[in-house]
Structure 1
Amino acid sequence: MPIPLDSPAVDRSLLRDDVYRRLRDAIVDGTFRPGEQLKDGELAEWLGVSRTPVREALLRLGGSGLVVALPGRSTRVSTIEAGAVRDARDVIAAMHQLAVRQATGRLSDDDIERMRNANRRFADAVTAGDIGAALDADDEIHRIPVDALGNHALATVLDQFGPLVRRAERLRFSTDGHTSVELHTQLIDMIAAGDEQGAATVAFQIWHTLPAGDDAGR
């Protein structure tokens, strides 16, 4: 049959972004373990795509610190190194502090209730030992002020360095997440009260409860 001339082209950027997200999430959730070699041909077959978007995704993952590429040799999932986690954590904390400070007063009652609901799901997931659900709920809590602010540059920084911090958070939530429940509650209450300085301080504190010393990679 003749190729339809009026059909829209496949959005290559969407394919590239989807491949990146799939590989990023597989690293963060532990499907691909630290030190594991990633072969673009095998990944392409797994995802049902060509090697090109896989190679592009691996380059982006290298920029985020999730993989380490050795020229002419191999690409491997990075180990969870204390220094890298500390650096990324400090950047993430500063970005969320800024987002919360500027978004306080802009959030609707519905936004605040969504944060409270997400924190309840977070608490239930921590109690049940469901680390994946805890991370999803935690991400929603912090994403609401970021989305309300609408600062694209800030969101881009979080998207780049957030996954590296999430890997360390997965380790923390597997042993202790109840402290975060309490801090989330303080954060939400301060946002609801319009206390932008108090909310910003708690937002910064939340991310600095994440260990960044030698125990971060255990």
Structure 2
Amino acid sequence: MPIPRNFTAPKSAKERAFIQIQEWIIDGTLKPEEKLNDVELAEALGVSRTPIREALQLLAVHGFVVMHPGVATQVTAVNKEDISKILPPLAVLQALAAELATSVINQQDIDSLRRINTEFSQAIKKGNYYSALKLDEQFHREIVEVTQNAYISNTISMLQAHVRRLFFHNSIILKHDSVDEHETILQAFEGQDSATANKIARNNWLRPIAEYYSK
């Protein structure tokens, strides 16, 4: 049968519940170690209890809740020092994405990334750190998208969600150093220098660990 063009399947109730509950956990609306009631969540999101339970199971797999069958489901605690567990694997994957992107990225992509980096710089200067965080995510996500590697992008997406949670609990500090590192990555792309793109992308994600422990 003919398939309609530009068709986007609507998100399922489970996906919508997963996204919203995860966001509430990330921004602290649902507090660390808070017990979750699937009936209340179902009422709040306008869905049945089944997609809520399915969403909670997926959130457990992603490390955002812990389920005690027959007892309770709780939001996981926040350990700020998990920054040293989350960022190293993320750094490796982001560095690999930058390396792989070097040989296929085009100037239009680079120009788009440069515009994002300019907005990122402006957000930091204004002290609008949440906007800066989202722009930083967008910058790196566009590099990952260039690789067209779903295995890399899916794993990065999961880790990135935990980075956002640490940001809301003051473990992640955004500094202007990232602006210069982003520009160096872009120059490496323009020079087809995959080794430099890899190295700088990796350092860009590892630097916040040292900054956290030096506070």
TM-score range, shorter chain: 0.7 to 0.9
Say whether the 8 Å CA contact 1:88–1:164 is kept in structure 2: yes
2:162 is paired with a residue of what secondary structure?
Answer: helix
The farther-off stretch of 195-204 and 119-128 is 119-128
Amino acid at match of 2:36: L
How far the C-alpha of 1:115 sits from its partner, in A, is 1.1
Report the number of matched residues.
206
Corresponding residue for residue 78 of structure 1: 76
How far the C-alpha of 1:84 sits from its partner, in A, is 4.0
2:44 aligns with one of 40, 43, 46? 46
Are the structure 2 counterparts of residues 185 and 214 from structure 1 closer, same or farther at C-alpha, using a change threshold of 3 Å?
closer
Are the structure 2 counterparts of residues 79 and 158 from structure 1 closer, same or farther at C-alpha, using a change threshold of 3 Å?
same
Corresponding residue for residue 20 of structure 2: 22
How far the C-alpha of 1:159 sits from its partner, in A, is 2.2
Q: Where do 5+ consecutive residues of structure 2 fail to align?
A: 1-8
Corresponding residue for residue 89 of structure 1: 87
TM-score w.r.t. structure 2 length?
0.84
How far the C-alpha of 1:82 sits from its partner, in A, is 4.8
Superposition pairs of residues 120-199 of structure 1, within 5 angstroms: 120-170=118-168, 171-172=170-171, 175-199=173-197
Are the structure 2 counterparts of residues 203 and 143 from structure 1 closer, same or farther at C-alpha, using a change threshold of 3 Å?
same
CA distance in 2 between partners of 1:213 and 1:182 (Å): 17
How far the C-alpha of 1:136 sits from its partner, in A, is 1.4
1:209 is paired with a residue of what secondary structure?
Answer: helix
TM-score w.r.t. structure 1 length?
0.82
CA distance in 2 between partners of 1:212 and 1:205 (Å): 11
Say whether the 8 Å CA contact 1:85–1:164 is kept in structure 2: no
1:203 aligns with one of 196, 201, 204? 201
Say whether the 8 Å CA contact 1:96–1:203 is kept in structure 2: yes
CA distance in 1 between partners of 2:127 and 2:26 (Å): 17
Say whether the 8 Å CA contact 1:119–1:141 is kept in structure 2: yes
Which of structure 1's runs of 4+ aligned residues deviate more than 6 A?
A: none
CA distance in 1 between partners of 2:22 and 2:13 (Å): 14
How far the C-alpha of 1:199 sits from its partner, in A, is 0.7
Alpha-carbon displacement from aligned partner over 1:10-44 (angstroms, at most 9, x marks no partner): x6863322221122222222322322222211111
Q: Where do 5+ consecutive residues of structure 1 fail to align?
A: 1-10
How far the C-alpha of 1:121 sits from its partner, in A, is 1.7
The farther-off stretch of 183-192 and 197-206 is 183-192
Corresponding residue for residue 117 of structure 1: 115
Are the structure 2 counterparts of residues 210 and 61 from structure 1 closer, same or farther at C-alpha, using a change threshold of 3 Å?
farther
CA distance in 2 between partners of 1:131 and 1:172 (Å): 13
Amino acid at match of 2:197: A
Say whether the 8 Å CA contact 2:129–2:174 is kept in structure 1: no
Are the structure 2 counterparts of residues 12 and 73 from structure 1 closer, same or farther at C-alpha, using a change threshold of 3 Å?
farther
CA distance in 2 between partners of 1:94 and 1:187 (Å): 15
